[in-house]
Structures are given as structure tokens and as C-alpha cells.
Amino acid sequence: MHLSASLLTLLPIITLACNHENIARQSQNQTQGNTTLPFDYIPGTDGPADQATSGYFVNHIGLLVSNITASREWYTTVLGMRHVFTIRLNEYYTIMYMAHAQGGRSGQGYQTGAELARDKNNLAGLVEFMQYHPTSKDVKFTPTPQNTLSHMGLIVPDLSAAQARFEKLNVTIVKRVGELDITPETGNRAFAGAWGIHDLGSKETQEILRIVSPGLVAMGFKEFVLIADPDGNLFEVQAFVPTSI
């Protein structure tokens, strides 16, 4: 494999950036004239967060995958993550959560799958895997490193209050509390795409979604809020105390 000169130049910076403690230490030395960094380091100086965000935290990220069984094996074997639960909405769509045990990183904090599922909305660092596998090749989703990030999960104490705050801040709200309309006319192609569904208007896709909808309602998706950041990255906002699963 051949690396470009520009990439080779960036590699030391990227490597150093992964060690933020080392960066901060070297930045302090640079200020004292003892060293020189190959980039500008800007330390965080934010003040206290808005009190209205008390209790907010990023709970999970969602990944679109081509083989959920292979993903489970890889994340278990390679990363030591553990299976929390799997939901098979129907033959076309499967959702799975995995997590690290939250009792510490020494290997002593074992939790059962039932315990992890019970505490799901009080945990951080979870990964949600979604596999969409329609029968038609025309609507089949093929994951690549550029299109597998589905969304990030945000937990809030009060969904309605959070939604009102998002509206006040002019945040792009893709889906509101109580909504579950994924017809082509609603403009909800953004979160359909985040599920790996890119042909929202096809008859096959609409039939699959019609079959899947009761399962989505049962798992509480109707009560979630979906918002988009300035680049269109989605956050699935859930209540700290879930209304269903």
C-alpha cells in the first residue's frame, strides 16, 4: 500500500491526537518554549453547560451492517462487547444492541444480558446494529465505510421538554414525539436512509415498512425524537425512563 506525501505528513499528527493527555502536556511545554508541536492545540475553555441539558448524555451509536451475526461475533471476539438483546422486527429487518459491562474495565464488572437490557438507557458506549435485508436486489443496502453510520443515541430526562428546547433553538427536527409516518411524501427520507432504506418510494419498501411498523411501535420508536446536526448526522433522542423496551 502506498501512502501519499500529504497523508504521511499527517500521520504523526493523527497519532498524537489520539493521546490527548500527551498533547496537553506538550502544549504546556510549548507555551514555556520547551517544545514545538506540528499543529495548533486549542484546549477546551467552555463554561458550565446550559442547566436545561442536565441529564443529557450520548448513549449509543447506530451502525448499518450487512451481516448482524458476523458483527456480533466480531464485536464480541475483538472488542469484548456483550450481547444485550436482538429484535427481529420481521424477516427483512433486525436490530441488535451490544455493550461493555459497566462495572469497570478490570474484567470484574460482569453483568448479565438481562441486567444490561434493564439499565440500557442509563448506560453509555453502547452500539446498535441494524441489518436491512430485503429480497429484491434493487433495494438491497450494501454497507461501505462511508455509509454505515446510522445515528447517535442521546438520552434526556424529559423528551417533551427536550423537543421544545430543540424547537426554540431552531434545531432540525426530523421526527417528533408521537410521530411514525414514513411514507415518501412526509420528507422523512433522512431517517429512512439512516436505516439503510434508500428507495423509500418503492412498493416493496413501503410494504416492508407497513409490516415492520407494529414492531417499531412496540419497541417505543414512535415516542422517540430524531434531530439532525448541521451536517445531517442524526441523533435518536430517547427518554431516560423509556415508555416501552
Say if residue 112 is in the same domain as residue 38. Answer: no
User: What's the number of domains the chain is made of?
Assistant: 2
User: Does residue 245 belong to any structural domain of this protein?
Assistant: no
The residue-averaged pLDDT of 123-145 equals 78
Q: Is the pLDDT of residue 128 over 90?
A: yes
User: Does residue 18 belong to any structural domain of this protein?
Assistant: yes
Say if residue 73 is in the same domain as residue 171. Answer: yes
Say if residue 14 is in the same domain as residue 71. Answer: no
Q: Name the DSSP class of 49.
A: P
Give the pLDDT confidence of 32-65 residue by residue, as tens digits: 555 666 667 788 899 999 999 999 999 999 988 8
Residues 6+ apart with CB under 8 A from 5: none
CA distance 90 to 83: 20
Give the pLDDT confidence of 89-126 residue by residue, as tens digits: 988 899 999 998 877 656 667 788 999 999 999 999 99
Say if residue 27 is in the same domain as residue 69. Answer: no
C-alpha grid cell, residue 163 = 423537543
C-alpha grid cell, residue 204 = 416493496
pTM: 0.67
Residues 6+ apart with CB under 8 A from 119: 102, 111
The parent domain of residue 171 ranges over 51-239
- Tell the burial category of 215 from Cβ atoms under 10 Å away from its Cβ (0-12, 13-18, 19+): middle
Say if residue 26 is in the same domain as residue 127. Answer: no
Kindly calculate the radius of gyration of the chain based on its CA atoms and give it in whole angstroms: 21
Say if residue 198 is in the same domain as residue 217. Answer: yes
